[in-house]
Structure 1
Amino acid sequence: MSDLVVLFGSLLKTVVAPDVVAEIARIIDIATALVAQPRELHLVTDEKVTELLPSNQLREIPGAGSSFGRTFRANPALDLRVPAEREEQVDDWLRQLDLDSGLTGLESLVKGCRASVTPKA
């Protein structure tokens, strides 16, 4: 579980890093202030998403089925350059992933992971 927290957080941290934003701006010949934050994350897996989650700690939603990924929309009110707001976005995506995969209970696991994962600015 903490691997997904770190993976999603690292992806977001990378795409909003000043060096990456500057390079994107250079490539498309615009000011760095005009480079938008990511609006969505596309996750596609080879196996069911439930295989990525600790199913022994989650409850199955009867009849919900499972998925092989999804498109997660970013909350436009969050500034993903701010570590706390980036964490909030990652946590929201993990909750969406939980429900989309036909499971519930991930919210409490995310809180536990946050306690064990030290965010790096």
Structure 2
Amino acid sequence: MDPDQLRGVGDLADLFDYLLQSAVDPQVVTEIARITDIDTALVGQPRELHLVAGRQVKDLLHPIVLREIPEASASAGGSFRANPALDLRVAVERQEQVDDGLRQLGLDAGLAGMEALVESYRAKTMPTA
């Protein structure tokens, strides 16, 4: 697997992870609760994540392994629905949500092969606990 391609997927995975991790950070949750005058237990996890890039997603990934799907439209981002069964405060579950988002991002961008790319990336990175 091309290291540049894995780096591109890794960068996007890190971006997704940091965004989701920030949204469930106790300090952020406490501040949201304070601003809205509710208990922190009532501050839910994000249900959606919207990502908009300055250029097409396929250009962010150095698509050597990824293949363009014929007649599919290109994309410069996406809206990603969270799996409500996952607890984004738990690193392994957040990683699962990130990987789902990456796969969806690839398909939304009209690219096939993101599943294999994500799997290869995860095989080369240390699992998180």
TM-score (norm 2): 0.87
Q: How much has 1:116 moved relative to structure 2?
A: 3.3
* Unaligned residue ranges in structure 2 (runs of 5+): 1-8
Q: Distance in 1 between matches of 2:69 and 2:26?
A: 41
TM alignment of 1:4-83, pairs within 5 A? 4-83=12-91
* 8 Å contact from structure 1 (residues 58, 104) kept in 2: yes
Percentage of identical aligned residues: 61
Q: Which structure 1 residue ranges, 4+ long, deviate > 2 Å from structure 2?
A: 115-121
Q: How much has 1:86 moved relative to structure 2?
A: 0.4
* Unaligned residue ranges in structure 1 (runs of 5+): none
2:104 to 96, 101, 105: 96
Counterpart amino acid of residue 2 in structure 1: G
Q: Which moved more, 1:54-63 or 1:86-95?
A: 54-63
Q: Which moved more, 1:93-102 or 1:69-78?
A: 69-78
Q: How much has 1:32 moved relative to structure 2?
A: 0.4
Asked if 1:111 corresponds to 2:124, the answer is: no
Give the aligned length: 121
* 8 Å contact from structure 1 (residues 78, 85) kept in 2: yes
Q: How much has 1:111 moved relative to structure 2?
A: 1.5
Q: Which moved more, 1:104-113 or 1:85-94?
A: 104-113
Q: How much has 1:71 moved relative to structure 2?
A: 1.1
Q: Distance in 2 between matches of 1:52 and 1:119?
A: 24
Deviation digits for residues 12-36 of structure 1, max 9, x if unmatched? 1111011111111111111000001
Q: Which moved more, 1:106-115 or 1:3-12?
A: 106-115
Q: Distance in 2 between matches of 1:14 and 1:115?
A: 25
Secondary structure of the structure 2 residue equivalent to 1:55: coil
